Amino acid sequence: MDSCSLLSFSFLIIVMTVLASKDKDELIKRDQNSLLSFRSSIVSDPHNSLSTWVSSSTSSSSVDVCNWFGVKCNNDSTRVIELDISGQDLRGEISPSIANLTALTVLDLSRNLFTGEIPREIGSLHKTLKQLSLSENLLQGNIPHELGSLNRLVYLDLGTNRLTGQIPVELFCNGSSSSLQYIDISNNSLTGEIPLKNHCHLRELRFLLLWSNKLVGDVPPSLSNSTNLKWIDLESNLLT
């Protein structure tokens, strides 16, 4: 390779490296903006838990987004992969902007005072989300059937809210049938039957907690396919 070709090749490598670095910066910046948008829907933070959530463009004393309270990034700090702000007495609604965190594997907003409905946009995290915990809040309305798209979900906890309507069939009968291990939708006001059809096999299911709802009908025979089941609680319903 002559000196001219070598120079051109070296320049190309430098350009590609700069572009790759720029793309990574844009991804983490997008995640930061999504978190700030999520925070804007929180009207009360009594413990100042989110005081570190400050945009670097507005404050020279702000910390990196990967060091924000409750936030965990991947190894090269290019994406937010976990958000756990449980038990902080936060009050407000869950902003749909949370679904813009497209690398998220864990979302835990439990034990707060969130109101309103569960954003259906969370269902768009189907490629990454493994744990969804929204329990012990003040959430109301129906469970979005879009949550049935979360086909990598292992842990689902929507217990102790004010949810109404029927449990979406898609929640128990979709691609996540091979991965779901924990389901807790207890202590709500859900109606209808347990939507576990004969062709839906929750083979990895270990815990099924549906107590204190208004569920009717039979216990689904297809639960016999859940051979790893350790704990099932269906008390305080209208099952026959």
pLDDT in tens, 196-210: 888 788 989 999 999
pTM confidence score: 0.88
Mean pLDDT of 122-127: 95
pLDDT of residue 63: 57
> Where would I find the beta strands (DSSP E) of the chain?
42-44, 71-73, 80-84, 91-93, 106-108, 113-115, 131-133, 140-141, 155-157, 162-166, 182-184, 189-192, 207-209, 214-217, 231-233, 238-239
Q: Residue 123: pLDDT above 50?
A: yes
pLDDT of residue 59: 45
Q: Range with the lowest mean pLDDT among 55-69, 80-94, 209-223?
A: 55-69
Dihedral angle, C-alpha 161, 164, 165, 169, nearest 10 ° = 0
Q: Range with the lowest mean pLDDT among 14-18, 35-39, 104-108, 233-237?
A: 14-18
pLDDT of residue 27: 95
Average pLDDT, the chain: 89
Mean pLDDT of 200-226: 94
pLDDT of residue 55: 79
Q: Which of 45, 31, 26, 27 is nearest to 97 (CA)?
A: 31
pLDDT of residue 15: 40
> Quick one: pLDDT band at residue 175, thresholds 50, 70, 90?
low
Per residue in 60-71, pLDDT (tens digit) is 434 589 999 999
pLDDT of residue 4: 56
Mean pLDDT of 172-180: 75
